[in-house]
Amino acid sequence: MMRLIYLWTTRLILTISLAGILPVSNQSTIIQAQSKKKNTAQASKYAKRANSKAKKKDYKGALSDYKRAYKLNPTSNYKKRVQQLTSIAKKQSRSKKSSKKSSRKPSKKQMAQASAYSKRGNSKAKKKNYAGALKDFKKALQLNSSASNKKKVQQLQSILRRRGTNIASKPTKAKVPRLSDIPRISPVKYANDIYNIAEGFELSSRNLAKATSFIDDKHSKKIERATIRLSPSTYDLEKAAKSEPNDFRKQIDLARHYEANGQFEYAKEIYLKMASQHSLNANAHFHLGSFYSRFGQMTKARHSFEEALDVQPNHRATIEMMATLSGNSDNLLLSDDILTKSSKKDPNGPARRMQSIRKSLNERNFEYAAKLAKGGQDMFPRHSGFIFLKGMAFEGLGDLEKAKASYQESIKKDPGHQESYVALADLYSNQGKHVYAALTYSDAIRLDPSDTDSRFKQGLSYFNGSEWGRASSSWEDLLHYEPDNIKVKSLLPQAYYILAVEYNRNGESNLGQTSFRKALSVNKNSGLWLPGSMFTLGGYYRDKSMFRESLAAFQEAIELSPSSADNYLGLGITYWKMNESGLAKAAWSRSMELSPVNNDSRGWLLLAGKTAS
């Protein structure tokens, strides 16, 4: 009986389970799927709302919505957006904090400290200690960020940049090198050897001897890399000359150094001493004669050059100097006499051919002079004077490229040939390359500091190239040699005045006042130089397309000098550049009324007539 009850009970349970009366796991999986669908839909709603907030730049609200969306549906896309918005929100909070800090007004104590720094900066600026003034004004700006402090900092930074001073953001500590790391280089150690080699051998032998002189004692020398080579000081040269009084080269180097520094009596004393002690050395007489010729003492120069030829009839330096000597009739007469004396002593030497070339140049037979110079260069390759004369012949023929190449070749062969630098600088000046002309004149001045003509041309080239500061510096140096130079007394104040106008236009009134005072200190009669200054400014502004400023300058020049035809000419050209042909013609017509002869206004009027037709 019990067995039957057990069987029927088990059958009943199986039937109920099959009929679905008991709960099974399928129902739980269905419920989970339904909840996932709800979470995904709700997460997408949060994401949409976050996007709309992000467009309105409400990054914090967008971040909170995306965090909720990520909790409901942790996908990689939501995670990426949460990371992006977190970084954006941090930046936004930082900027707000900094703006709050900057918007805070300085306290009374900070304002007092800032005013103290600004006062100290002004006193330093008056003493031209611009670097110290800039530091003080930067401290004042940190304490009180006023507009005046900002303006002062900007002005001082611009001044220091123009002066070539490096403005460092952070102070750097200088590293002191060890004594063992500092190279010991004697600037006059090999001067005498190089000079003797140059005088004794041909060009190829000279280069070979110079090379082997360094190879012979290579074991005792240490090869070092020098980034900056400083020229020897007066103390170094005097010490070298005193230690070896019989060393000809060192004595001459000291004399040339004295000349460069304007100590002409000291230089003269050395040249006289060398001519006395080294009477059988033609170079000693040549250097003394060159010194006399630079100061116009041509009779004494003649005696020294004749002594040089008596010692050595074909003395290369003397012959080349005579071949390239130019200027007044005294110079030409001296050149012809010395070359004639050398050619008589050696009819087959270079002096006779150089004399023939000079004669052809004077007769303007440039083609024949060029042929003679080429032949002389082949016959006497050590004489760079033939290359220089060849350049003069090409320049006379109008072949400026060949003339330029010849002058450069002459400089390369003999870097001490001052006339080649002057000829090349004159060529650049005639071509309108004013800055290159000024740079080349500086090389000529380095070789002959007393060459006042080159000094004036250097300043004029800078002036024509609108380099007013460099022009004034060049002419200031010239006034040390010729204090009463009339041309400089007229042009130097113009350069100072133009600098004053430009400083004032750029907001640097203190520098402008200083430049104007310098102009008056050179020449108090402003009526002599002020009209020229305004005329130059008018052309300068016109070249920079600043036509209003150009018109104002020319009109000011006309008021100062109403009878000047050049002022009306410049005014007309400015009007022409502005496409105001009627006003341009009127200005040029007035210029023709004031000066009917040799007036460029005639050509401009013809051009305007052709353009109108």
pLDDT tens column, 458-486: 999 999 998 989 999 999 988 888 888 88
What percentage of residues in the chain have a pLDDT greater than 90? 17
Would you state the pLDDT for residue 91? 75
CATH code: domain of residue 468? 1.25.40.10
How is residue 507 written in tokens?
């907001």
**pLDDT band at residue 10, thresholds of 50, 70 and 90?**
low
Same domain as 486, residue 600:
yes
Tell whether 29 is covered by a domain.
Answer: no
Q: Taking all residues of the chain, what is their mean pLDDT, rounded to a whole number? A: 79
Q: Is residue 469 part of a domain?
A: yes
The lowest-confidence range among 114-128, 151-165, 266-280, 535-549 is 151-165
Mean pLDDT of the 575-600 span = 88
The pTM assigned to this predicted structure is: 0.55
Does the residue 400 lie in any domain? no
Separation CA 281–CA 288 (nearest Å): 12
Average pLDDT over residues 328-346: 75
519 pLDDT exceeds 60? yes
* Least confidently predicted of 61-75, 213-227, 520-534: 213-227
Angle at alpha carbon of residue 558, lines to 555 and 560, rounded to 5°: 115
Tell me: do 590 and 523 sit in the same domain: yes
Residue 50 pLDDT more than 50? yes
pLDDT number for residue 89: 76
- In the predicted model, is pLDDT for residue 249 greater than 50? yes
Tell whether 218 is covered by a domain.
no
Domain boundary among 130, 146, 162: 162
pLDDT at 325 over 80: no
pLDDT in tens, 413-426: 888 888 889 999 99
Query: Does 74 reside within a domain?
Result: yes
Do residues 434 and 461 lie in contact, with contact meaning Cβ atoms separated by under 8 Å?
yes
147: which 2 tokens?
Answer: 């507009």
Residue 214: pLDDT band by 50, 70, 90 thresholds? very low
Is 80 in the same domain as 116? no
Residue 440 has pLDDT above 90, yes or no: yes
pLDDT digits (tens, 9 = 90+) for 136-153: 888 888 888 888 888 888
Q: Does 79 share its domain with 138?
A: no
How many other CB atoms are found less than 10 A from the CB of residue 271?
Answer: 25
What pLDDT does 157 receive? Answer: 85
Q: Give how far Cα 271 sits from Cα of 229, 252, 307, Å.
A: 28, 7, 14
**Residue 587 lies inside a defined structural domain of this protein:** yes
pLDDT exceeds 80 at position 452: yes
Residues 48 and 80 in one domain: yes
Is residue 53 located within the same domain as residue 156? no
pLDDT of residue 186: 46
Residue 603: exposed, middle, or buried by beta-carbon count in 10 A (0-12, 13-18, 19+)? exposed
Last residue of a domain, one of 162, 191, 224: 162
Res. 282 pLDDT band, cuts 50 70 90:
confident
Task: Please determine, for residue 583, whether its predicted confidence score (pLDDT) is greater than 60.
Answer: yes
- Residues 56-102: tens digit of each pLDDT: 778 788 888 888 888 888 888 888 888 888 888 777 776 665 555 55
Which pLDDT band, with edges at 50, 70 and 90, does 442 fall under? very high
> Cβ contacts of residue 148 below 8 Å, gap of 6+?
118
Q: Are residues 83 and 140 in the same domain?
A: no
**When comparing pLDDT for 331 and 58, which is higher?**
58
Report the candidate in 270, 378, 385 with the shortest Cα–Cα distance to residue 323.
385
The reply to whether 473 and 583 lie within a common domain is: yes
Share of the chain above pLDDT 70, in %: 79
Supply the pLDDT for residue 124. Answer: 86
Same domain, residue pair 471 and 585: yes
> Distance between CA atoms of 301 and 323, rounded to whole angstroms?
15
544/486 same-domain check: yes
Q: What is the mean pLDDT of residues 123-134?
A: 85
Any domain includes 513: yes
Report the C-alpha gap between 399 and 406 in whole angstroms. Answer: 11
472 and 576 belong to one structural domain? yes
Half-sphere exposure of 469 (CA within 13 A, CB side): 7
507, pLDDT greater than 60: yes
DSSP three-state, residue 164: coil
- For residues 606 and 498, state if they share a domain: yes
What is the per-residue pLDDT across 560-577, written as a single tens digit (0 to 9) for each? 899 999 999 999 999 999
CA distances to 56, 136, 150, 161, 163 from 157, in Å: 41, 12, 11, 6, 10
Cβ neighbour number for residue 357 with a 10 Å cutoff? 26
Contact yes or no for 431/400 (Cβ under 8 A):
yes
Q: What is the per-residue pLDDT across 16-36, written as a single tens digit (0 to 9) for each?
A: 555 444 444 444 444 455 555
Highest mean pLDDT among 132-136, 216-220, 223-227, 440-444: 440-444
Residue 446 belongs to a domain: no
- The pairs formed by 462-471 with CB atoms below 8 angstroms and a separation of 24 or more are 462/434, 462/435, 462/438, 463/491, 463/494, 463/495, 463/536, 464/434, 465/434, 465/435, 465/438, 466/540, 466/543, 467/435, 467/438, 468/495, 468/498, 468/499, 468/502, 469/495, 469/499, 470/438, 471/495
Q: How confident is the model at residue 178 (pLDDT cuts 50, 70, 90)?
A: low
Tell me how many domains the chain contains: 3
Range of the domain at 561: 454-612
pLDDT at 31: 47
pLDDT(48) > 80: yes
- Give me the pLDDT at residue 8, please: 64
pLDDT in tens, 392-406: 899 999 999 999 999
